[in-house]
Amino acid sequence: APASGASEPGRVSGAGVCKSRPLDLVFLIDSSRSVRPLEFTKVKTFVSRIIDTLNIGPADTRVAVVNYASTVKIEFQLQAYTDKQSLKQAVGRITPLSTGTMSGLAIQTAMDEVFTVEAGARGPSSNIPKVAIIVTDGRPQDQVNEVAARARASGIELYAVGVDRADMESLKMMASEPLEEHVFYVETYGVIEKLSSRFQETFCALDKCALNTHGCEHICVNDRSGSYHCECYEGYTLNEDRKTCSAQDKCALGTHGCQHICVNDRTGSYHCECYDGYTLNADKKTCSVRDKCALGSHGCQHICVSDGAASYHCDCYPGYTLNEDKKTCSAIEEARRLVSTEDVCGCEATLAFQEKVSSSLQRLNTKLDGILEKLQVNEYGQIHR
Protein backbone atom coordinates (compact mmCIF):
# COMPACT_ATOMS: atom_id res chain seq x y z
CA ALA A 1 0.00 0.00 0.00
CA PRO A 2 1.22 3.55 -0.72
CA ALA A 3 1.19 4.39 3.03
CA SER A 4 4.05 1.96 3.67
CA GLY A 5 6.55 3.84 1.54
CA ALA A 6 4.90 6.60 -0.42
CA SER A 7 6.62 9.90 -0.96
CA GLU A 8 5.27 12.95 -2.70
CA PRO A 9 7.51 15.21 -4.79
CA GLY A 10 9.70 17.36 -2.56
CA ARG A 11 8.97 15.36 0.57
CA VAL A 12 11.36 13.01 2.40
CA SER A 13 9.94 10.37 4.71
CA GLY A 14 11.07 10.24 8.33
CA ALA A 15 12.86 6.95 7.73
CA GLY A 16 15.51 8.68 5.63
CA VAL A 17 16.96 7.24 2.44
CA CYS A 18 17.82 3.80 3.83
CA LYS A 19 15.53 1.26 5.46
CA SER A 20 15.49 -2.46 6.13
CA ARG A 21 14.21 -4.46 3.19
CA PRO A 22 12.01 -7.55 3.83
CA LEU A 23 13.93 -10.82 4.05
CA ASP A 24 13.49 -14.48 4.87
CA LEU A 25 16.56 -14.59 7.14
CA VAL A 26 18.03 -17.75 8.72
CA PHE A 27 20.94 -17.75 11.17
CA LEU A 28 23.06 -20.92 11.27
CA ILE A 29 25.12 -20.71 14.48
CA ASP A 30 27.94 -23.03 15.43
CA SER A 31 27.57 -24.17 19.06
CA SER A 32 30.26 -26.86 19.12
CA ARG A 33 32.38 -27.40 22.22
CA SER A 34 35.03 -24.99 20.95
CA VAL A 35 32.58 -22.15 21.48
CA ARG A 36 32.68 -21.33 25.20
CA PRO A 37 29.45 -20.30 27.01
CA LEU A 38 30.40 -16.62 27.18
CA GLU A 39 31.38 -16.66 23.52
CA PHE A 40 28.08 -18.29 22.63
CA THR A 41 26.33 -15.48 24.50
CA LYS A 42 28.25 -13.02 22.31
CA VAL A 43 26.96 -14.84 19.23
CA LYS A 44 23.39 -14.52 20.51
CA THR A 45 23.96 -10.81 21.17
CA PHE A 46 25.25 -10.45 17.62
CA VAL A 47 22.08 -12.09 16.28
CA SER A 48 19.85 -9.89 18.48
CA ARG A 49 21.59 -6.72 17.35
CA ILE A 50 21.04 -7.60 13.71
CA ILE A 51 17.37 -8.25 14.55
CA ASP A 52 17.23 -4.75 16.09
CA THR A 53 18.16 -3.21 12.73
CA LEU A 54 15.39 -5.03 10.85
CA ASN A 55 11.68 -4.42 10.38
CA ILE A 56 10.21 -7.63 11.80
CA GLY A 57 6.74 -8.82 10.83
CA PRO A 58 4.74 -11.15 8.59
CA ALA A 59 4.98 -8.69 5.69
CA ASP A 60 8.53 -7.59 6.54
CA THR A 61 11.52 -9.68 7.67
CA ARG A 62 10.98 -13.17 9.10
CA VAL A 63 13.76 -14.82 11.12
CA ALA A 64 14.63 -18.43 11.91
CA VAL A 65 17.60 -19.93 13.80
CA VAL A 66 19.34 -23.24 13.12
CA ASN A 67 21.70 -24.39 15.88
CA TYR A 68 24.37 -26.91 14.88
CA ALA A 69 27.35 -28.89 16.10
CA SER A 70 27.63 -32.63 15.32
CA THR A 71 23.84 -32.54 15.10
CA VAL A 72 21.42 -29.94 13.82
CA LYS A 73 18.52 -28.38 15.73
CA ILE A 74 15.99 -25.96 14.28
CA GLU A 75 15.44 -23.61 17.22
CA PHE A 76 12.44 -21.88 15.59
CA GLN A 77 11.00 -21.47 12.10
CA LEU A 78 10.42 -18.33 10.03
CA GLN A 79 6.74 -18.17 10.93
CA ALA A 80 7.26 -18.58 14.69
CA TYR A 81 7.69 -14.95 15.82
CA THR A 82 6.33 -11.76 14.28
CA ASP A 83 7.75 -9.08 16.63
CA LYS A 84 11.23 -8.15 17.78
CA GLN A 85 10.69 -8.66 21.51
CA SER A 86 9.47 -12.24 21.34
CA LEU A 87 12.04 -13.02 18.65
CA LYS A 88 14.96 -11.75 20.76
CA GLN A 89 13.62 -13.59 23.80
CA ALA A 90 13.62 -16.82 21.77
CA VAL A 91 17.23 -16.18 20.73
CA GLY A 92 18.17 -15.63 24.36
CA ARG A 93 16.83 -19.08 25.30
CA ILE A 94 19.08 -20.96 22.82
CA THR A 95 21.67 -23.24 24.47
CA PRO A 96 24.83 -24.85 22.98
CA LEU A 97 24.68 -28.38 21.62
CA SER A 98 27.83 -30.53 21.69
CA THR A 99 31.06 -31.33 19.88
CA GLY A 100 31.51 -31.33 16.11
CA THR A 101 31.02 -28.77 13.32
CA MET A 102 28.62 -30.11 10.68
CA SER A 103 28.27 -26.94 8.63
CA GLY A 104 27.24 -28.80 5.46
CA LEU A 105 24.45 -30.62 7.31
CA ALA A 106 23.25 -27.31 8.76
CA ILE A 107 23.04 -25.74 5.28
CA GLN A 108 21.21 -28.80 3.92
CA THR A 109 18.71 -28.70 6.81
CA ALA A 110 18.03 -25.02 6.28
CA MET A 111 17.48 -25.59 2.57
CA ASP A 112 15.18 -28.63 3.03
CA GLU A 113 13.27 -27.75 6.21
CA VAL A 114 13.45 -23.99 6.85
CA PHE A 115 13.40 -22.21 3.50
CA THR A 116 10.05 -23.79 2.61
CA VAL A 117 6.59 -22.29 2.28
CA GLU A 118 5.31 -24.76 4.89
CA ALA A 119 7.89 -23.49 7.40
CA GLY A 120 7.01 -19.83 6.74
CA ALA A 121 9.22 -18.85 3.81
CA ARG A 122 7.58 -16.84 1.07
CA GLY A 123 7.28 -18.19 -2.44
CA PRO A 124 9.18 -17.07 -5.55
CA SER A 125 6.38 -14.76 -6.69
CA SER A 126 6.89 -12.58 -3.59
CA ASN A 127 10.43 -11.56 -4.66
CA ILE A 128 11.49 -11.69 -1.01
CA PRO A 129 15.24 -12.52 -0.77
CA LYS A 130 16.25 -15.72 1.06
CA VAL A 131 19.35 -15.06 3.17
CA ALA A 132 21.42 -17.33 5.43
CA ILE A 133 24.18 -16.13 7.81
CA ILE A 134 26.55 -18.88 8.96
CA VAL A 135 28.61 -18.17 12.10
CA THR A 136 31.45 -20.60 12.88
CA ASP A 137 34.83 -20.69 14.60
CA GLY A 138 36.22 -23.88 13.11
CA ARG A 139 36.68 -26.02 10.05
CA PRO A 140 33.62 -27.96 8.77
CA GLN A 141 33.76 -31.68 9.49
CA ASP A 142 31.61 -32.52 6.46
CA GLN A 143 31.53 -31.52 2.81
CA VAL A 144 30.24 -27.98 2.36
CA ASN A 145 31.27 -27.21 -1.20
CA GLU A 146 28.52 -29.11 -3.04
CA VAL A 147 25.70 -28.44 -0.57
CA ALA A 148 26.51 -24.72 -0.47
CA ALA A 149 26.51 -24.64 -4.28
CA ARG A 150 23.05 -26.28 -4.33
CA ALA A 151 21.78 -23.77 -1.77
CA ARG A 152 23.06 -20.85 -3.82
CA ALA A 153 21.55 -22.38 -6.98
CA SER A 154 18.16 -22.59 -5.23
CA GLY A 155 18.22 -18.83 -4.63
CA ILE A 156 19.64 -18.66 -1.10
CA GLU A 157 22.18 -15.89 -0.53
CA LEU A 158 24.90 -17.17 1.85
CA TYR A 159 26.98 -15.02 4.20
CA ALA A 160 29.86 -16.64 6.12
CA VAL A 161 31.15 -15.15 9.38
CA GLY A 162 34.38 -16.69 10.70
CA VAL A 163 35.71 -16.23 14.22
CA ASP A 164 39.17 -16.98 15.62
CA ARG A 165 40.24 -20.39 14.20
CA ALA A 166 37.71 -20.43 11.37
CA ASP A 167 39.04 -21.78 8.06
CA MET A 168 38.99 -18.99 5.49
CA GLU A 169 38.89 -21.34 2.51
CA SER A 170 35.81 -23.08 3.92
CA LEU A 171 34.15 -19.70 4.47
CA LYS A 172 34.76 -18.84 0.82
CA MET A 173 33.34 -22.21 -0.30
CA MET A 174 30.11 -21.54 1.54
CA ALA A 175 29.59 -17.84 0.75
CA SER A 176 27.90 -16.27 -2.29
CA GLU A 177 29.68 -14.08 -4.80
CA PRO A 178 31.13 -11.50 -4.65
CA LEU A 179 33.15 -12.93 -1.75
CA GLU A 180 34.35 -9.55 -0.51
CA GLU A 181 30.74 -8.71 0.28
CA HIS A 182 29.73 -12.10 1.73
CA VAL A 183 32.74 -13.27 3.79
CA PHE A 184 33.49 -11.66 7.18
CA TYR A 185 36.19 -12.51 9.71
CA VAL A 186 36.82 -11.35 13.27
CA GLU A 187 39.62 -12.48 15.56
CA THR A 188 37.49 -13.00 18.68
CA TYR A 189 33.86 -13.32 19.70
CA GLY A 190 34.40 -10.16 21.73
CA VAL A 191 34.22 -8.01 18.60
CA ILE A 192 31.65 -9.99 16.59
CA GLU A 193 28.92 -7.61 17.75
CA LYS A 194 30.55 -4.87 15.67
CA LEU A 195 29.60 -6.77 12.52
CA SER A 196 25.92 -6.02 13.18
CA SER A 197 26.36 -2.53 11.72
CA ARG A 198 27.93 -4.05 8.61
CA PHE A 199 24.89 -6.25 8.12
CA GLN A 200 22.61 -3.29 8.74
CA GLU A 201 24.25 -1.59 5.76
CA THR A 202 24.10 -4.82 3.76
CA PHE A 203 20.38 -5.26 4.35
CA CYS A 204 19.61 -1.61 3.75
CA ALA A 205 17.18 -0.91 0.93
CA LEU A 206 17.77 2.48 -0.62
CA ASP A 207 14.63 4.61 -0.31
CA LYS A 208 14.60 5.84 -3.88
CA CYS A 209 11.42 7.85 -3.28
CA ALA A 210 13.11 9.86 -0.53
CA LEU A 211 15.96 10.78 -2.88
CA ASN A 212 13.50 12.79 -5.01
CA THR A 213 15.09 11.52 -8.22
CA HIS A 214 12.17 9.23 -9.07
CA GLY A 215 10.45 11.61 -11.48
CA CYS A 216 6.93 10.67 -10.37
CA GLU A 217 4.52 13.52 -11.05
CA HIS A 218 2.20 12.64 -8.16
CA ILE A 219 3.19 9.81 -5.78
CA CYS A 220 6.31 7.63 -5.47
CA VAL A 221 5.85 4.21 -3.82
CA ASN A 222 8.78 2.11 -2.62
CA ASP A 223 8.58 -1.55 -3.62
CA ARG A 224 9.74 -4.39 -1.44
CA SER A 225 12.30 -5.32 -4.07
CA GLY A 226 14.22 -2.10 -3.40
CA SER A 227 12.81 -0.39 -6.45
CA TYR A 228 9.83 1.94 -6.75
CA HIS A 229 6.84 2.76 -8.92
CA CYS A 230 4.71 5.83 -9.55
CA GLU A 231 1.05 6.25 -8.72
CA CYS A 232 -1.47 9.05 -9.27
CA TYR A 233 -3.87 10.96 -7.08
CA GLU A 234 -7.51 9.88 -7.08
CA GLY A 235 -9.21 10.86 -10.32
CA TYR A 236 -6.04 10.50 -12.39
CA THR A 237 -4.51 7.65 -14.39
CA LEU A 238 -0.84 6.85 -14.97
CA ASN A 239 0.38 7.63 -18.47
CA GLU A 240 2.40 5.24 -20.64
CA ASP A 241 5.66 6.80 -19.44
CA ARG A 242 4.76 5.39 -15.96
CA LYS A 243 5.72 8.76 -14.47
CA THR A 244 3.15 11.42 -15.36
CA CYS A 245 -0.59 11.44 -14.73
CA SER A 246 -3.67 12.52 -16.67
CA ALA A 247 -7.12 13.33 -15.38
CA GLN A 248 -9.53 10.44 -15.84
CA ASP A 249 -12.48 10.93 -18.19
CA LYS A 250 -15.01 10.12 -15.49
CA CYS A 251 -17.84 11.13 -17.78
CA ALA A 252 -16.84 8.43 -20.26
CA LEU A 253 -17.04 5.78 -17.54
CA GLY A 254 -20.85 6.16 -17.52
CA THR A 255 -21.07 6.11 -13.73
CA HIS A 256 -21.51 9.86 -13.21
CA GLY A 257 -25.30 9.81 -12.77
CA CYS A 258 -25.89 13.12 -14.58
CA GLN A 259 -29.40 13.29 -16.08
CA HIS A 260 -28.39 15.58 -18.96
CA ILE A 261 -24.73 16.56 -19.38
CA CYS A 262 -21.51 15.40 -17.66
CA VAL A 263 -18.55 17.81 -17.75
CA ASN A 264 -14.98 16.72 -16.86
CA ASP A 265 -13.10 19.10 -14.56
CA ARG A 266 -9.37 19.76 -14.64
CA THR A 267 -9.04 18.31 -11.16
CA GLY A 268 -9.85 14.81 -12.39
CA SER A 269 -13.42 15.12 -11.14
CA TYR A 270 -16.63 16.13 -12.94
CA HIS A 271 -19.88 18.06 -12.52
CA CYS A 272 -23.36 17.85 -14.02
CA GLU A 273 -25.09 20.45 -16.19
CA CYS A 274 -28.56 20.72 -17.80
CA TYR A 275 -29.87 21.40 -21.29
CA ASP A 276 -31.08 24.94 -22.09
CA GLY A 277 -34.40 25.61 -20.41
CA TYR A 278 -33.61 23.35 -17.46
CA THR A 279 -32.07 24.03 -14.07
CA LEU A 280 -29.91 21.72 -11.95
CA ASN A 281 -31.65 20.36 -8.87
CA ALA A 282 -30.22 20.32 -5.34
CA ASP A 283 -28.88 16.77 -5.85
CA LYS A 284 -26.52 18.22 -8.50
CA LYS A 285 -27.47 15.35 -10.80
CA THR A 286 -31.06 15.73 -12.07
CA CYS A 287 -32.68 18.63 -13.96
CA SER A 288 -36.06 20.40 -13.87
CA VAL A 289 -37.79 22.54 -16.53
CA ARG A 290 -36.99 26.22 -16.03
CA ASP A 291 -38.18 27.81 -19.32
CA LYS A 292 -40.50 26.01 -21.75
CA CYS A 293 -39.65 28.56 -24.42
CA ALA A 294 -36.04 27.39 -24.33
CA LEU A 295 -37.07 23.81 -25.04
CA GLY A 296 -37.82 24.73 -28.67
CA SER A 297 -41.16 22.88 -28.76
CA HIS A 298 -43.45 25.89 -28.21
CA GLY A 299 -44.50 26.33 -31.87
CA CYS A 300 -44.45 30.13 -31.81
CA GLN A 301 -43.68 31.53 -35.25
CA HIS A 302 -41.98 34.66 -33.95
CA ILE A 303 -41.51 35.07 -30.20
CA CYS A 304 -42.08 32.76 -27.23
CA VAL A 305 -42.67 34.51 -23.91
CA SER A 306 -42.20 32.43 -20.74
CA ASP A 307 -44.94 32.81 -18.14
CA GLY A 308 -43.07 30.74 -15.56
CA ALA A 309 -41.66 27.20 -15.32
CA ALA A 310 -44.70 25.51 -16.86
CA SER A 311 -46.41 28.06 -19.14
CA TYR A 312 -45.78 30.43 -22.07
CA HIS A 313 -47.51 32.47 -24.79
CA CYS A 314 -46.60 33.56 -28.30
CA ASP A 315 -45.96 37.10 -29.50
CA CYS A 316 -45.08 38.66 -32.85
CA TYR A 317 -42.36 40.95 -34.16
CA PRO A 318 -43.22 44.65 -34.59
CA GLY A 319 -45.42 45.20 -37.66
CA TYR A 320 -47.12 41.82 -37.21
CA THR A 321 -50.19 40.68 -35.38
CA LEU A 322 -50.96 37.31 -33.76
CA ASN A 323 -53.40 35.16 -35.67
CA GLU A 324 -56.35 33.29 -34.15
CA ASP A 325 -54.25 30.10 -33.71
CA LYS A 326 -52.20 32.08 -31.13
CA LYS A 327 -49.03 30.73 -32.77
CA THR A 328 -48.53 32.29 -36.22
CA CYS A 329 -48.26 35.96 -37.19
CA SER A 330 -49.45 38.14 -40.09
CA ALA A 331 -48.24 41.55 -41.24
CA ILE A 332 -50.47 44.40 -40.00
CA GLU A 333 -50.87 46.02 -43.54
CA GLU A 334 -52.16 42.73 -44.91
CA ALA A 335 -54.63 42.53 -42.06
CA ARG A 336 -55.81 46.04 -42.81
CA ARG A 337 -56.26 45.21 -46.48
CA LEU A 338 -58.37 42.22 -45.55
CA VAL A 339 -60.48 44.39 -43.25
CA SER A 340 -60.91 47.08 -45.96
CA THR A 341 -62.07 44.52 -48.48
CA GLU A 342 -64.60 43.22 -46.04
CA ASP A 343 -65.83 46.80 -45.35
CA VAL A 344 -66.34 47.48 -49.11
CA CYS A 345 -68.33 44.30 -49.53
CA GLY A 346 -70.37 45.24 -46.50
CA CYS A 347 -71.13 48.73 -47.81
CA GLU A 348 -72.37 47.50 -51.18
CA ALA A 349 -74.74 45.06 -49.52
CA THR A 350 -75.98 47.76 -47.22
CA LEU A 351 -76.67 50.16 -50.11
CA ALA A 352 -78.52 47.49 -52.03
CA PHE A 353 -80.65 46.75 -49.00
CA GLN A 354 -81.28 50.42 -48.37
CA GLU A 355 -82.43 50.96 -51.99
CA LYS A 356 -84.72 47.98 -51.73
CA VAL A 357 -86.25 49.26 -48.51
CA SER A 358 -86.62 52.79 -49.95
CA SER A 359 -88.41 51.44 -53.02
CA SER A 360 -90.75 49.39 -50.84
CA LEU A 361 -91.50 52.43 -48.69
CA GLN A 362 -92.30 54.55 -51.72
CA ARG A 363 -94.76 51.97 -52.99
CA LEU A 364 -96.32 51.75 -49.59
CA ASN A 365 -96.68 55.53 -49.34
CA THR A 366 -98.40 55.61 -52.72
CA LYS A 367 -100.93 53.04 -51.57
CA LEU A 368 -101.55 54.95 -48.35
CA ASP A 369 -102.22 58.15 -50.29
CA GLY A 370 -104.87 56.37 -52.42
CA ILE A 371 -106.58 55.00 -49.35
CA LEU A 372 -106.69 58.42 -47.70
CA GLU A 373 -108.28 60.01 -50.76
CA LYS A 374 -111.03 57.42 -50.82
CA LEU A 375 -111.73 57.96 -47.15
CA GLN A 376 -112.04 61.69 -47.68
CA VAL A 377 -114.49 61.23 -50.58
CA ASN A 378 -116.67 58.95 -48.53
CA GLU A 379 -116.69 61.28 -45.62
CA TYR A 380 -117.65 64.23 -47.86
CA GLY A 381 -120.52 62.33 -49.42
CA GLN A 382 -121.95 61.39 -46.06
CA ILE A 383 -121.84 64.95 -44.87
CA HIS A 384 -123.93 66.23 -47.87
CA ARG A 385 -126.47 63.56 -47.61
Angle 20-130-126 (CA atoms, 0-180°, nearest 5)? 80
Q: Out of 77-86, 110-119, 214-223, 376-385, which region has the weakest mean confidence (pLDDT)? A: 376-385
Residue 225 has a pLDDT of 59
- C-alpha 345/C-alpha 335 separation (Å) is 16
First-to-last CA distance in the chain?
Answer: 149
- C-alpha 235/C-alpha 97 separation (Å) is 61
Does 296-336 match 18-206 at the fold level?
no
Q: Which residue stretches of the chain are H helix?
A: 37-52, 84-92, 103-109, 145-153, 168-174, 179-182, 195-202, 332-384
**Mean pLDDT in residue range 100-117:** 96
Average pLDDT, whole number, for the chain? 84
Residue 283 has a pLDDT of 95
Which tens digit of pLDDT belongs to each residue from 31-84?
A: 998 888 899 999 999 999 999 989 999 999 999 999 999 999 999 999 999 999
**Which of the pair, 371 or 304, is modelled with greater confidence?**
304
- C-alpha 23/C-alpha 120 separation (Å) is 12
Which tens digit of pLDDT belongs to each residue from 151-200?
A: 999 999 999 999 988 999 999 999 999 999 999 999 998 889 888 888 88
Taking only Cα atoms into account, the Rg of the chain, rounded to an integer number of angstroms, comes to 54
Q: Note if the bond before 178 is cis, omega within 30 degrees.
A: yes
pLDDT at residue 369 greater than cutoff 90: no
pLDDT at residue 2 greater than cutoff 50: no
**Residue closest to 157 by CA, chosen among 137, 140, 182, 136:** 182
**Mean pLDDT in residue range 220-243:** 84
- The secondary structure of residue 190, as a DSSP letter, is G
**Which of the pair, 162 or 278, is modelled with greater confidence?**
162
Residue 118 has a pLDDT of 96
Residue 217 has a pLDDT of 93
What is residue 134's three-state secondary structure? strand
CATH code of 296-336, in short, is 2.10.25.10
Q: Give the domain ranges of the chain.
A: 18-206, 296-336
Q: Out of 9-23, 135-149, 200-214, which region has the weakest mean confidence (pLDDT)? A: 9-23
**Hey, what CATH class is 18-206 in?**
alpha beta
Residue 42 has a pLDDT of 94
Torsion of CA 115, 116, 121, 124, to 10 degrees: 100
- Please check whether residue 123 is in contact with residue 117, taking contact to mean a CB–CB distance below 8 angstroms: yes
Residue 343 has a pLDDT of 55
- In Å, what is the CA distance from 36 to each residue of 30, 301, 321, 325? 11, 111, 120, 117
Residue 344 has a pLDDT of 55
User: Among 77-86, 210-219, 240-249, 327-336, which range has the highest average pLDDT?
Assistant: 77-86
- C-alpha 244/C-alpha 267 separation (Å) is 15
- C-alpha 230/C-alpha 208 separation (Å) is 11
Residue 341 has a pLDDT of 55
- C-alpha 257/C-alpha 109 separation (Å) is 62
Residue 26 has a pLDDT of 98
- C-alpha 10/C-alpha 72 separation (Å) is 51
Q: What is the pLDDT confidence band of residue 288, given thresholds at 50, 70 and 90? A: confident
**Residue closest to 40 by CA, chosen among 93, 83, 88, 86:** 93
Residue 10 has a pLDDT of 32
Q: What percent of the chain has pLDDT over 90?
A: 51
- C-alpha 135/C-alpha 96 separation (Å) is 13
pLDDT at residue 302 greater than cutoff 80: yes
- C-alpha 213/C-alpha 219 separation (Å) is 12
Q: What is the pLDDT confidence band of residue 309, given thresholds at 50, 70 and 90? A: low
pLDDT at residue 223 greater than cutoff 90: no
**Residue closest to 62 by CA, chosen among 4, 112, 117, 6:** 117
Residue 381 has a pLDDT of 57
**Mean pLDDT in residue range 336-354:** 64
